[in-house]
Amino acid sequence: MLRTDVYPVILSGGSGTRLWPLSRKHHPKQFIKLISNYTMVQETALRLKGFNRPIAVCNEAHRFTIAEQLAEIGQNPSAIILEPVARNTAPAIALAAHKAVELNPNAILVVLAADHVIEDTDAFQAAVEAAVEETNNNSLITFGVIPEKPETGFGYIQAQKKGHLSSIKRFVEKPNAITAQNYVNSGDYYWNSGMFVFKAQDYLDELNIHDHKMATTVKNAYNNAQSDFDFTRVSKEDFSKCESNSIDYTIMEKTRKGVVLPISVGWNDVGSFSALWEVLDKDANGNANLGDVENIDSKNCLVQSENQFVATIGVQNLVVIGTKDSVLVANKDRVQDVKTIVQHLERTERIEHLLHREVHRPWGKYDSIDNGHRYQVKRITVKPGASLSKQMHHHRAEHWIVVSGTAIVEVDEKETLLSENQSIYIPLGATHRLTNPGKVNLELIEVQSGSYLGEDDIVRFEDNYNRK
């Protein structure tokens, strides 16, 4: 039976730097297939059935990706709210709460991160139903994961008493190993899952009590939002004034309505490659392999290959991650330090932390297959019926060769229909547009040549997706 008053909220603002090079700033881990044939955000959306269509909160750069991935699994969100700047979970949830109250004054929110693993879906759904029932007491419920081991990478919640439901005694930041062991032994400490259930209006009321300025700022930002296709574009001028704080710090540590519900559902936040190794299937030697991989006399390794054969011989406890443009090799005990590589890439102004070699766009995707001095080669895929923006470049010319499908190419107001093995030249400075009029994907090779080949050398005149 459909609960028309319950709205899953998917928070999708994370960057996943500790899973580089799989995760990139513009294509983070929630949009990657890590543990199944579904991406993490798809797994999250599919986890809750019998409720309203979800409300997603994400940043502007990811808006088309999350919309497309939800559409792939038949999910049409109740709303996709775009955060103009990152301000942590408290303001993000407030945006979703305003939308939910607008849809249903009695709305109940089930707040989930987009990139967590939950192995026991049935047990999780039962816990959600119990939490939804508890909202009748105007409680703000958080899920506390019953710890399986002392874990120094998670925050903890201490309950007032052991049992099914309890008021919250305190929140604790990530402890050292000895303290974490004491927490596990005590039986009244739980891992802080970052998942919540409460009435939308109760959340807004508590936010107004404990941080009136944030409540007012978020309300103004939402009230001044604009619709953009299927997206709700929040006012940047208003939202930027909001402080960046978590829901724990802003509300849950202060409210008298906080309740912790213990759960044991096979939860994992997949915050590192060691955590990913834990949830993946492994062979008899403890190796978890993704892609074309062969291990000889190797033990307890995580090896992933995106597009080439990878072999290991006589190694232990290693993480080997290969993408089309980068390779990471690390000891499994040092995977928390992967973020230092991302920081190095930022400092040296490289791009490998921003984008994969294959980049997704609302019209399709492109793969930068080769580049050198004054040239770059891409393989471009355009979805049926889709068009690139009408644009021009100041510093490069382009040559397009159709590999398969059909293309309509407009160059300086003149249209040409191209089919397989036909090509066209776009001179520097020419206004041009590419459209796929067919019912199958259009595949073409683009050869760029010029003095500057950066993606920011685009002047858009018209765009179906309202990009700048």
- Report residue 151's pLDDT band, with 50, 70 and 90 as the boundaries: confident
Q: Is the residue at 468 inside a domain? A: no
Residue with token string 């419920």: 141
- Residue 135 belongs to what domain range? 6-268
Decide if pLDDT at 113 tops 70: yes
Mean pLDDT across the stretch 427-454? 96
What amino acid is encoded at 199 in this protein? K
Question: Tens digit of pLDDT for each residue in 293-304?
Answer: 999 999 999 999
- Checking 62-68 for CB contacts under 8 A at 24+ apart, the result is 62/12, 62/26, 62/28, 62/31, 63/231, 64/360, 64/361, 64/362, 64/465, 65/27, 65/31, 65/360, 66/12, 66/31, 66/41, 67/230, 67/231, 68/360, 68/362
Q: Categorize the per-residue pLDDT at 1 as very low, low, confident or very high, splitting at 50, 70 and 90.
A: low
Res 2: pLDDT:
67
Cβ pair 54, 74 in contact under 8 A: no
Q: Are residues 210 and 287 in the same domain?
A: no
* Mean pLDDT across 187-198: 95
Number of domains in the chain: 3
Tokens 């920081």 correspond to what residue? 343
64 in the same domain as 39: yes
Same domain for 281 and 258: no
HSE-up of residue 410 (Cα within 13 Å, Cβ side):
17
Could you report the per-residue pLDDT of 283-292, keeping only the tens digit for each? 999 999 999 9
CATH of the domain at 193: 3.90.550.10
For 209-236, write each residue's pLDDT tens digit: 999 999 999 999 999 999 988 899 999 9
The reply to whether 393 and 264 lie within a common domain is: no
Structural tokens at position 190 = 């739980």
Q: What is the DSSP string of 125-140?
A: HHHHHHHHHHGGGT-E
> What is the DSSP-derived secondary structure letter of residue 231?
E
Phi, psi of 251 (to 5 degrees): -125, -55
Q: How far apart are CA 95 and CA 85, in angstroms?
A: 13
103 inside domain: yes
Q: Does 350 reside within a domain?
A: no
Q: Do 237 and 142 lie in a common domain?
A: yes
Residue 380's CB is within 10 A of a number of other CB atoms, namely 20
- Using DSSP, state whether 162 is helix, strand or coil: coil
223 found inside a domain: yes
CA distance linking residue 39 with residue 44, whole number of Å:
9
68 and 129 assigned to the same domain: yes
Helix residue spans in 248-374 (DSSP H): 273-279, 338-347
Least confident interval from 158-162, 206-210, 374-378, 421-425: 158-162
| Three-state secondary structure call for residue 13 | coil
Mind giving me the DSSP string for 91-129? HHHHHHHHHHHHH-TT-EEEEEETT-EES-HHHHHHHHH
| Same structural domain, 251 and 278 | no
Average pLDDT over residues 73-101: 95
Residue 319 sits in the same domain as residue 430: no
The burial of 308, by beta-carbon neighbours within 10 Å (0-12 exposed, 13-18 middle, 19 or more buried), is given as exposed
